[in-house]
Amino acid sequence: MFTILSRLTAIIIFGFLASCSSSQEASELEVGEDVVAKSLGFTAGTANPGLYIVGLSHLNIIVSDVDYATEFYGRTLGFVQAHNVRGPMDYKGYTGASFARDAGFLDGNVKVDIRFLKHPTVGMHIELMKYHQPIGSQEVIYRNTNDLGGIRHVALEVSDAEKAFDYLKEQPDVKMINESSDYGPPEALGSGRIKFFYWLDPWGVQWEMEEGRPIGDIRGISG
């Protein structure tokens, strides 16, 4: 009798824990997928971008190889594999007609490797993509600081610009904005604390490493 009661008790406890786990997972999914009221910032035919833009999602970079890009951005900037409640945000060989059409490929045909990385301190996400179909231009264009058009650089605040400069200058596949030996180390602007430098990654993204500005808050995605 005691053995039967013990087994029944164990079954009840196990079932309770499983239901708690299931409820928690469902709750996490709800939080991850529905954190903003639908149509926030849109009322009576008017739009308020100050309300309907609710966060910084990610920076997309088209790469030649997501595995090498993962290693590169981990080594140079400290990005790591991003996760959501379902697990790693890593989608090799993704095909989806709706994705293709949203991306502008109206025939619905696409095959792409997608991997999200996240910076553990800043919270910023980057989305690496390698297109297998359709294949776009394979030419990487390195632009100068003063070239017109497009986002010219992505700026990250660092604790020590000079040490970051010395570290990155020695990294494989990193190009300083000016490859002359006379470029750097970064200098303070006037009598202030701000200093910075620019560098280019293998896929043409220009990065700014800046020191001296106060750190504020930014709202980003969680998965």
Sign for the pseudo-dihedral over CA of 170, 175, 181, 183: negative
Over residues 150-178, the pLDDT tens digits come to 999 999 999 999 999 999 999 999 999 99
% residues pLDDT > 70 (the chain): 84
Instruction: Specify if 25 maps to a domain.
Output: no
CATH number at residue 193: 3.10.180.10
| Residue 63 shares a structural domain with residue 104 | yes
| Residue 68 shares a structural domain with residue 127 | yes
Instruction: Specify if 91 maps to a domain.
Output: yes
Which has the closest alpha carbon to 205: 102, 61, 68, 28? 61
CA-based R_g, the chain, Å: 23
Over residues 16-70, the pLDDT tens digits come to 333 333 333 333 323 345 556 778 899 888 999 999 888 999 999 999 999 999 9
Q: Which helix or strand (DSSP H or E) is residue 223 part of?
A: none
What pLDDT score does 33 carry? 52
Total of domains in the chain: 2
Cα torsion at 153, 158, 161, 167 (round to 10°)? -90
| Residue 181 shares a structural domain with residue 125 | no
Q: What are phi and psi of 169, to 5 degrees?
A: -60, -25
Range of the domain at 126: 58-133
